[in-house]
Structure 1
Amino acid sequence: MIRHFIDLWDITPEEGWTILESSLAIKNKKNEERPLKGKYFALIFTKPSTRTRVSFEVGIRALGGEVIFLQEESLQLVRGEDLKDTARTLSRYLDCLIVRTDSHEKLKELASHSSIPVINALTDMSHPCQVLSDVFTLYERFGKDIKNKKIAYVGDGNNLCNTWLVGAGLFGLNLFVATPEGYEPSSYYYQAGEDLCKITGGSIYLTPNPVEAVKDADVVYTDVWVSMNQNRTEEKISALKNYQVNRQLLSYAKENVLVMHCLPARKGEEITEEVFEEYADFIFTQAENRVYAQMGLLKFLFTQR
């Protein structure tokens, strides 16, 4: 059976924990398997990328696979070839497609016509590899005690926020989300997270009040206020100005709070440079862990069938 990874709900809670444990073993060099040997992967990217591209290329090669990087603009798609024809062609050449695009619907269409696994490396609605890696970073620090930690997401209700809702449900986490009115996360992803919480015991709380979200938090997470391909408007920046992660806001969190950012950061907007630099080591460990979490995911997808 083909296993796509379009959203976090494409894996079960049990599978999620298995991937985290496998990722930790890989990072600790307790797993030298090369399950991707003889397999070929294509990274198809519409959007610019630093961490996603490099972490996938390094991880795939470390597991024995080969990688081809393709900018979407270099494919016949830009000349009007049907997406389903591209999917059916590439399925005959490759073993997996890893796609970073501006349209979640386009990614789902591609997957529906692919006879090989398709992995979401970011869309306008969802960023499952990032959140899987973020949960892995917290798992590495706290173990399964992450279920007892309060995680606060502060900022725009964007694709990353959507995915954190699902991640909280999948792993049974305690998540508080603070976004301004009019910039809330997707109700569809919220409901998916709530449905999973009923299974795992997690909890999700939405509020427009950033202080309420951050109060006694163990982890505070933020992301850029204006994502790629979004219009930067003064109205949006003004709505988010009270959602900046700064010393004043962090004063409401626990004394030993951890700050996370998926990068790239626009310092001076969603986070001050002072706070960013104070927590930089943990933020860049979070970035490093993209490699190991994605290796754990790839190992799972190609050995569990």
Structure 2
Amino acid sequence: MKKRDLLTLRDFSREEILALLQDSILLKKLRNAGAKYLNLLSGKTVAMIFEKPSTRTRASFTVAAYELGAFPVSYSSNELQLARGEPVKDVARVLSRYHDLIAARVYRHEDLEELARYSSVPVVNLLSDKYHPLQSLADYMTILEKKGKIDGVKITFVGDGTDNVLNSLIIAGVKLGAKITVASPRDYMPREDLVGKEYLSKIQVTEDPYEAVKDADVIYTDVFVSMGQEKEKEARLKAFLPRYQVNSELLKHVGREDFIVMHCLPAHRGEEITDEVVESKNSVVFDQAENRLHTSKAVLLHLLYPEWTKYLGKQPLHQ
């Protein structure tokens, strides 16, 4: 089987993304029906490299590998020789001789690209400064569950238009037919070098969050200060607050009651979103978090066992 990486969803077609979402929903149904452990990847090992802290990504990908029968091994950058200056290309060539897949959460997307270039096994982006494809898969799985469709659904993102989560949300959303609006301050609007001209030309961008949320099916936000941006905290909070906070006053302008509120977590409650909104009946943030598990399973199977559904009935389950 030819090696396939998942660094950004730019490299995946609409049909492939839909297949991943459909598989994710099937895997969730199987797990809820009692088929928690599947031996589909028995005998395989998965390496996970973490340069940044992680809760949902580490937990979901670890559990996904384990429940599929693979053995997950987690490395921090300090535990590898990366911290002492070993080239990324050398780490890639070594780890890919031990493991069947490498997943990495990195500060620089370019390091992820080099890891993939020199690895002989699939490489998965667990988050970089530019993209977070696994998050967007969980996001669209959640939208599909809650809204019954993605095509034509209006998604309004309020906050940092250069956000890595938003970049992946736009790329996948344009491919899937979502109507995306971004409300950001002028200095933080989506960038063509991160999103791509072909995607940027198909979304709406405004400085007015109140106009942006009108008739939205989905209101999405993320932190104003991401990991690695701590030195910009004062300037960023000044630019975003209070105008771009997702709060009850902003949500009054949606004009409908059946919208959902999304956040990739962790949330800085009181900054980009209020505690009241996170805990509201419209919030689906914890459904999003759960779906990180199911979409991680789908990605692992897509890259290591793409024919899994054909053989599912023949595979033994272990309880």
What TM-score does the superposition give when structure 2 sets the normalisation length? 0.89
1:212 CA displacement: 2.0
Aligned to 2:151: 147
2:60 is equivalent to residue 61 of structure 1? no
| Alignment partner of 1:86 out of 83, 91, 97 | 91
2:195 is equivalent to residue 190 of structure 1? yes
SS at match of 1:68: strand
Aligned to 1:213: 212
Is the 8 Å Cα contact of residues 261 and 283 (structure 2) preserved in structure 1? no
In the alignment, the residues of structure 2 paired with residue 24 and residue 192 of structure 1 have an alpha-carbon distance, to the nearest angstrom, of 31
Aligned to 2:101: 96
In the alignment, the residues of structure 2 paired with residue 38 and residue 142 of structure 1 have an alpha-carbon distance, to the nearest angstrom, of 38
| Alignment partner of 1:289 out of 291, 295, 300 | 291
Q: What are the within-5 Å matches in structure 2 for residues 30-179 of structure 1?
A: 33-143=38-148, 145-157=149-161, 158-179=163-184
In the alignment, the residues of structure 2 paired with residue 194 and residue 229 of structure 1 have an alpha-carbon distance, to the nearest angstrom, of 26
| Alignment partner of 2:274 out of 272, 275, 289 | 272
2:240 is equivalent to residue 240 of structure 1? yes
What do residues 51-105 of structure 1 show as CA deviations (whole Å, max 9, x unaligned)? 0000001111111110101001111111221111111011110000110011101
What do residues 203-249 of structure 1 show as CA deviations (whole Å, max 9, x unaligned)? 41111111121111011000000000102432211110110001111
Matching residue's letter, 2:13: T
SS at match of 2:124: strand
SS at match of 1:296: helix
Is the 8 Å Cα contact of residues 150 and 176 (structure 2) preserved in structure 1? no
Matching residue's letter, 1:4: D
| Alignment partner of 1:301 out of 297, 300, 303 | 303
Give unmatched runs, 5+ long, in structure 1.
Answer: 198-202
Is the 8 Å Cα contact of residues 36 and 64 (structure 1) preserved in structure 2? yes
Aligned to 2:226: 227
State the Cα RMSD in Å: 1.8
In the alignment, the residues of structure 2 paired with residue 10 and residue 295 of structure 1 have an alpha-carbon distance, to the nearest angstrom, of 19
Aligned to 2:13: 12
Report the CA distance shift for 1:247/1:280 in structure 2 as closer, same or farther (over 3 A): closer
Identity of aligned residues (%): 43
Matching residue's letter, 2:12: I
Matching residue's letter, 2:4: R
Is the 8 Å Cα contact of residues 42 and 97 (structure 1) preserved in structure 2? yes
In the alignment, the residues of structure 2 paired with residue 263 and residue 193 of structure 1 have an alpha-carbon distance, to the nearest angstrom, of 28
1:142 CA displacement: 2.3
Is the 8 Å Cα contact of residues 209 and 244 (structure 2) preserved in structure 1? yes
In the alignment, the residues of structure 1 paired with residue 211 and residue 133 of structure 2 have an alpha-carbon distance, to the nearest angstrom, of 26
In the alignment, the residues of structure 2 paired with residue 281 and residue 250 of structure 1 have an alpha-carbon distance, to the nearest angstrom, of 12
Q: What are the within-5 Å matches in structure 2 for residues 257-268 of structure 1?
A: 257-268=259-270
Question: Once structures 1 and 2 are overlaid, which stretch shifts more, 247-256 or 94-103?
Answer: 247-256
Runs (4+) of structure 1 exceeding 4 A deviation are 30-33
Matching residue's letter, 1:36: L
Question: Once structures 1 and 2 are overlaid, which stretch shifts more, 33-42 or 82-91?
Answer: 33-42
Question: Once structures 1 and 2 are overlaid, which stretch shifts more, 23-32 or 2-11?
Answer: 23-32
1:127 CA displacement: 0.5
In the alignment, the residues of structure 1 paired with residue 170 and residue 152 of structure 2 have an alpha-carbon distance, to the nearest angstrom, of 16
1:292 CA displacement: 0.3
1:193 CA displacement: 5.4
SS at match of 1:70: strand
What TM-score does the superposition give when structure 1 sets the normalisation length? 0.93
Is the 8 Å Cα contact of residues 165 and 189 (structure 1) preserved in structure 2? no
